[in-house]
């Protein structure tokens, strides 16, 4: 049965303050430049096999860019450098297919190469071409990353740690009680598949993972902690401060944030997909979306649409990598920067932007003498003064910490102040 998934994302381009969110205009993708960027950033060779001039391959490249950028900076490149030194090439190969059932990504490792295949289909029902989904691609990358962890951390060591948590349930079958220790039936098929499945779900569906068992810890969460620890020991680019995959673990808000968060939940200011994430660092994308959500709640849909605008969205098909279910997704311009963590300075600039759009006087501020903003440009300091003067972002009286990231729970307090300020 076909499932339809509609993802509504507000798209806009914030030019005045040099903050990028989702683009409001359809800009053509420079395929050659994107391929060069992917190869230089990740050390992966991208090849379009048997290229057909009638097919638009840009969607494949966007899927690659989105999928790879989900992972922490340096992680993928660290793997590719390791294999390259051993004479093993890392390739992403884009193929054309004529069957929608072939729209899956595939990962194949050999002594000479590690290849990830991603397919594109011409003349689909929904548009001129459709490609294997980002979900499918990340699932393939999950195998690529887990193979590296097995080599560096130790396959037998990690498997033994996992099996100690399996409570006697064995790989290769599915019986009553297995749902308590395995993510799904496919995870229970083998240890390698379980690790790849967990990485895939962590990156694509962290909300589903952290809310298993109503947000209480399970064996699956303990496995995520084991895998995160193994990754920390396998990658020099990953440290405990990275909080790797923390967003997939059940979280409770700290006491100082609890009352505000409960008020926001009661007022439907926090969408359901953000349930249970508090102590992880927030991405730009999530912060922008949460901000727009509370502004829409405050001023109403019609006024919100008139002020900020919503772009038209195109649909395309994609496939669940395991179930083979067809989805219809919304295609929006994508900026990989959106998956980076947002800084306090960027929040200040963004709040200045939305305040200006809502006819607030952003020149109404008092100069604050923070001791850590000397490296901030004079034009950006104005936004720091604006948000601090209006109580939207508060320093400690001495420091503003402009380049520090914010957690979700810290962001909720800022957003509640914005809601009350508007």
Domain co-membership, 362 together with 275: no
Q: Which domain holds residue 92?
A: 31-342
Domain co-membership, 246 together with 382: no
Domain co-membership, 327 together with 397: no
For the stretch 355-394, pLDDT in tens is: 999 999 999 999 988 999 999 999 999 999 999 999 999 8
Is 90 in contact with 80 (CB distance < 8 Å)?
yes
Give CA–CA dist 366/352, Å, rounded. Answer: 14
Domain co-membership, 103 together with 181: yes
- Specify if 25 maps to a domain: no
Domain co-membership, 95 together with 153: yes
- Specify if 20 maps to a domain: no
Domain co-membership, 233 together with 357: no
- Specify if 416 maps to a domain: no
**What integer best gives the mean pLDDT of the chain?**
83
- Specify if 289 maps to a domain: yes
For the stretch 390-421, pLDDT in tens is: 999 987 779 999 999 999 999 999 999 999 99
Give CA–CA dist 153/146, Å, rounded. Answer: 10
Structure confidence at residue 110 as a pLDDT band (50, 70, 90): very high
- Specify if 301 maps to a domain: yes
Domain co-membership, 278 together with 375: no
- In 10 A of CB 234, how many CB atoms? 22
Which CATH number does the domain housing residue 101 bear? Answer: 3.40.390.10
Give the up-direction half-sphere exposure of residue 126: CA atoms within 13 A in the CB hemisphere.
17
Give CA–CA dist 239/328, Å, rounded. Answer: 37
Domain co-membership, 279 together with 241: yes
DSSP summary character for residue 247: G
- Specify if 419 maps to a domain: no
């Amino acid at each position: 049965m076909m499932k339809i998934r509609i993802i509504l994302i507000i798209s806009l381009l914030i030019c005045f303050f040099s903050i990028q969110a989702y683009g409001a205009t359809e800009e053509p993708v420079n395929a050659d430049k994107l391929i060069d960027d992917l190869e230089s950033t990740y050390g992966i060779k991208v090849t379009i096999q048997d290229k057909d001039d009638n097919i638009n391959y840009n969607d494949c490249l966007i899927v690659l860019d989105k999928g790879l950028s989900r992972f922490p900076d340096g992680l993928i490149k660290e793997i590719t450098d390791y294999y390259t030194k051993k004479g093993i090439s890392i390739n992403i190969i884009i193929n054309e297919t004529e069957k929608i059932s072939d729209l899956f990504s595939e990962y194949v490792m050999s002594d000479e190469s590690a290849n990830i295949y991603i397919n594109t289909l011409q003349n689909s029902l929904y548009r001129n071409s459709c490609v294997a989904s980002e979900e499918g691609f990340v699932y393939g990358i999950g195998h690529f990353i887990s193979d590296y962890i097995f080599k560096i951390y130790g396959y037998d060591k990690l498997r033994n740690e996992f099996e100690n948590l399996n409570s006697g349930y064995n790989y290769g079958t599915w019986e009553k009680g297995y749902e308590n220790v395995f993510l799904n039936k496919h995870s229970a098929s083998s240890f390698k598949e379980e690790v790849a499945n967990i990485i895939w779900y962590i990156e694509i569906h962290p909300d589903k993972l952290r809310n298993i068992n109503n947000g209480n810890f399970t064996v699956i969460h303990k496995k995520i902690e084991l895998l995160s620890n193994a990754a920390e020991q396998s990658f020099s680019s990953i440290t405990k401060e990275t909080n790797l995959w923390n967003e997939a673990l059940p979280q409770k808000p700290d006491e100082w944030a609890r009352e505000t968060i409960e008020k926001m939940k009661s007022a439907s200011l926090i969408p359901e997909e953000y349930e249970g994430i508090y102590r992880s660092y927030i991405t730009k994308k999530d912060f922008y979306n949460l901000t727009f959500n509370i502004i829409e709640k405050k001023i109403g849909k019609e006024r919100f649409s008139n002020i900020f605008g919503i772009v038209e969205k195109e649909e395309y098909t994609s496939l669940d990598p395991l179930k083979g279910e067809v989805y219809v997704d919304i295609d929006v311009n994508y900026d990989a920067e959106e998956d980076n963590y947002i800084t306090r300075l960027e929040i200040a600039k963004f709040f200045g932007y939305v305040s200006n759009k809502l006819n607030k006087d952003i020149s109404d501020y008092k100069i604050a003498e923070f001791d850590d903003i000397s490296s901030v440009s004079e034009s950006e300091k104005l936004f720091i003064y604006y948000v601090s003067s209006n109580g939207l972002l508060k320093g400690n009286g001495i420091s503003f910490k402009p380049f520090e990231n914010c957690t979700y729970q810290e962001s909720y307090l800022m957003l509640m102040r914005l809601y009350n300020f508007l």
